[in-house]
Structure 1
């Protein structure tokens, strides 16, 4: 009952945060400056949701009576990491607009975890090295998810400006140069954690084929190569705009298949 109550309040707070962001976006799109008091309320609601979500994950995953790291718990943890990192970044950079999509998504993952995680009980991971590998992988995936959402908005921003229609959502976004710079900051941090995840995987994963992880490793390595090429292209050739957005989305799609798609297939379809 306690877990269900915490989950319900967390979901409500996430969707309330998304609604507050939508309200601010509409005012910004109309040319009005959103009040500073509204931003304080937004961050309070957002922070409350993140704090309760962390408590829920502890009770649902790491406690004695938890269900372990099943697919829905993993997706919920990734959503929590995304919400947490985006909140921290939004305090310094004007990228809280990304929460319009990501906060309701986090609320949905909480509901799915409460409703379905118990049907897919997974043993808790005890090995410290494997725990570190999983945490690094989830942090990398969370940061690169934020980068993918930002890349999609950057592509939309580029398209609208080239077609001389900078209204609505585009007017509420930071300038194109700011969006571009922030995108590569997020990609850079995501790439660092992805590299660390792959390196730790070399030491903690004994047999990729026996553990049904070979395909996951292949997709993750290809994604790593794409992000590495993108970062080199940025610093050596000044890649930006639509080119950067396109390859960010391709790299994220491969990472999604590696970390989420493969886990869903193994647990929900193959029952492994």
Structure 2
């Protein structure tokens, strides 16, 4: 309980420091210490939960929290080296919220998975975290383009990288996420005994559709130079399918139908 509360407080402190830096138009890395502390304590909370439940629980709230942890860790690592720290204004409160949900709803004992299925699950969570960061970058790109078109030079724009740099980072993140998603699908094919079982078919189909959209976007970028609004639309559409594939199915199965996902 204490670890969770401290982690949540540190996430919020890091976000507050980032907001203060934007308002004062002063670059500062004071946020790094509470952010790094929050990420470490977030991970410790899961380790303690796994010891309590006897395994790596992957129920709905645990998976949400792990994705939040992954997003916070990526934001801390990437933000430490440049102006992408602005992501933390959204990511850190989101990570705190997912950790709170995990703590509030307890640790659900799950069937012990062998290393192959655990590898598949961890690849999936890494892919979701990375592509969720890409979706946030796409939203930031859209907001920045919209503000510049309207000649609305808001103060928060100063916290973002130049448009071209932001777009480059978006596609680099998508490439990494696409590789992880590809590995997730491959490990699913190799290690999941019945990939098209009743409760997996919709997850598989939606994940493949998301993979096709991300792949199509990268191909369009390479072949036709797609950028701007086109990149934003494809990224958000692909991410929406991915969210439905994993969290949508887990929500219905675990929280509505009360069945294991």
TM over 0.5: yes
Q: 1:171 aligns with which of 152, 158, 164?
A: 158
Q: Aligned residue for 1:220?
A: 207
Q: Aligned residue for 2:134?
A: 147
Q: Is the 8 A contact 1:62 1:124 kept in 2?
A: no
Q: 2:6 aligns with which of 9, 14, 27?
A: 9
Aligned-residue offset at 1:63:
4.8
Worse-superposed segment, 159-168 or 10-19:
159-168
Aligned-residue offset at 1:91:
2.2
Q: 2:232 aligns with which of 245, 254, 257?
A: 245
Q: Is the 8 A contact 1:217 1:258 kept in 2?
A: yes
Q: How does 1:1-272 map to 2 (within 5 A)?
A: 4-28=1-25, 33-34=26-27, 38-39=28-29, 41-63=30-52, 65=54, 68-118=57-107, 121-210=108-197, 212-272=199-259
Give unpaired runs (5+ residues) of structure 1: none
Q: Is the 8 A contact 1:67 1:117 kept in 2?
A: no
For residues 175-227 of structure 1, give each alpha carbon's deviation from its aligned partner in whole angstroms, at most 9, with x where no partner exists.
Answer: 00010000001000000000000000001222234351100011100000000
Deviating above 4 A after TM superposition, structure 1's stretches of 4 or more consecutive aligned residues are 62-67
**3-state DSSP of counterpart to 1:247:** helix
Taking a change above 3 Å as real, the CA distance of residues 172 and 115 of structure 1, as seen in their structure-2 partners, is: same
For 1:232 and 1:191, how far apart are their aligned partners in 2? 12
Q: Name the TM-score, length of structure 2 as normaliser.
A: 0.95
Worse-superposed segment, 121-130 or 157-166:
121-130
Q: Is the 8 A contact 1:220 1:255 kept in 2?
A: yes
Taking a change above 3 Å as real, the CA distance of residues 144 and 208 of structure 1, as seen in their structure-2 partners, is: same
Q: Is the 8 A contact 2:83 2:159 kept in 1?
A: no
Taking a change above 3 Å as real, the CA distance of residues 162 and 56 of structure 1, as seen in their structure-2 partners, is: same
For 2:52 and 2:140, how far apart are their aligned partners in 1? 38
For 1:59 and 1:66, how far apart are their aligned partners in 2? 10
CA-based RMSD of the aligned residues comes to 1.5
For residues 37-79 of structure 1, give each alpha carbon's deviation from its aligned partner in whole angstroms, at most 9, with x where no partner exists.
Answer: x41x210110000011111111113555568221111110110
Q: Is the 8 A contact 1:125 1:131 kept in 2?
A: no
Taking a change above 3 Å as real, the CA distance of residues 65 and 131 of structure 1, as seen in their structure-2 partners, is: closer
Aligned-residue offset at 1:88:
1.1
**3-state DSSP of counterpart to 2:31:** helix
